[in-house]
Amino acid sequence: MSARAVLPESAIRIIGFVGLGNMGQPMSACLLRDGFTVQGFDLAPAARDDLTAAGGQARTSSAEAVRGADLVILMLPGSDAVESVIDEDGFLGSLSPDAVIVDMSSSEPLRTRALAERLAAQGHTLLDAPVSGGVARARDGELTIMVGGAEKDVAFVTPVLKSMGNVTHAGPVGAGHAAKALNNLMSAVHLLASSEAVIAGQRFGIDPETLLAIVNTSSGRSWSTEYKWPRFVLTETYNSGFSLGLMVKDMRIATGLASSLHSPCVLGEKATELWARAAEALPPNADHTEVARWVRMLGEDQ
């Protein structure tokens, strides 16, 4: 156990963690580092092995992972996977009476709200707490965590969530997932616009690093120009750990939410259309930062 491992003041000691992928693995490692007991499950045997190597307790099913847990964390691809796990035989029956379920996936806010109501009718509490920050910040326990739920329930889980990052209570159930999708829509628009601008500047004769240095002390700066372009695009590594397909999924969640609320989302819908074209043109496992490569490819076709 590292020097950091000081168990926070919390009634929660045992955490059932389902979904130990790119984000779930470092997030669970942060919980272990802070002294929590983590019993986890993932469909991939290698992910379960990684949890064991980090000091966690691997289980052979989701139901076994949540058995006896004070808190259950789901870190899955989205609403379909979340609902599938919750509806598995034995899952709800394995929950402790007072256990709280926290969906940290990028799920659909309206479906999250409906699922929370369905679970409440069965005596279970569901909160949503999606994250932003990528794999690097997940490793460092510095994620942005946006939580949806009643204030008392959010207060109950906050000591655990703080092990993984900075916690903000976004509003009622579903608000966290809404905030995450809207954030990713803005992030995607920034990256697409930045890519178009930097590539146009390069074709005019401005070195990309020079243009980024100018922009990053000017009004056009964004996380895309300050971090994504220098770290993943200029280096041509394209390894942020977040796929282009997942970005498109989150964008569609955001634009769908706006549509259901009769809120204008003209730019967002157009950006989503362009990102979907990039997803069709690039390999299925493309990193989301490869949208810059797609923009360059478009220009080369002219």
Q: Are residues 191 and 156 in the same domain?
A: no
Q: Are residues 167 and 189 in the same domain?
A: no
Would you state the pLDDT for residue 142? 97
Residue 193: phi, psi to the nearest 5? Answer: -65, -40
Would you state the pLDDT for residue 123? 93
Return d(Cα 64, Cα 70) in angstroms, integer.
13
Q: Are residues 46 and 136 in the same domain?
A: yes
Last residue of a domain, one of 171, 194, 228: 171
Q: Are residues 83 and 226 in the same domain?
A: no
Would you state the pLDDT for residue 60? 96
Would you state the pLDDT for residue 11? 79
Would you state the pLDDT for residue 223? 96
- Phi-psi label, residue 231: left if phi above 0, alpha if psi -120 to 50, beta otherwise: alpha
pLDDT 10s digit of each residue in the chain, 302 long?
333 444 556 678 999 999 999 999 999 999 999 999 999 999 999 999 999 999 999 999 999 999 999 999 999 999 999 999 999 999 999 999 889 999 999 999 999 999 999 999 999 999 999 999 989 999 999 999 999 999 999 999 999 999 999 999 999 999 999 999 999 999 999 999 999 999 999 999 999 999 999 999 999 999 999 999 999 999 999 999 899 999 999 999 999 999 999 999 999 999 999 999 999 999 999 999 999 999 999 977 65
The position carrying tokens 């703080």 is 162
* Residue 254's CATH number: 1.10.1040.10
Question: What does the buried/exposed string (b/e) look like for 154-168 if buried means 16 or more CB atoms within 10 Å of the residue's CB?
Answer: bebbbbbbbbbbebe
Range of the domain at 284: 178-300
Task: Name the residues annotated as catalytic.
Answer: 180
Last residue of a domain, one of 156, 171, 186: 171
Domain total of the chain: 2
* Residue 97's CATH number: 3.40.50.720
Q: Are residues 158 and 214 in the same domain?
A: no
Q: Are residues 185 and 290 in the same domain?
A: yes
166-173 LR contacts (CB < 8 Å, sep 24+): 166/142, 167/129, 168/144, 170/146, 172/113, 172/148, 173/112, 173/113, 173/116, 173/126, 173/127, 173/128, 173/148, 173/149
Would you state the pLDDT for residue 299? 73
Q: Are residues 140 and 19 in the same domain?
A: yes
Q: Are residues 33 and 182 in the same domain?
A: no
In a domain, 1, yes or no: no
Last residue of a domain, one of 108, 139, 171: 171
Q: Are residues 108 and 206 in the same domain?
A: no
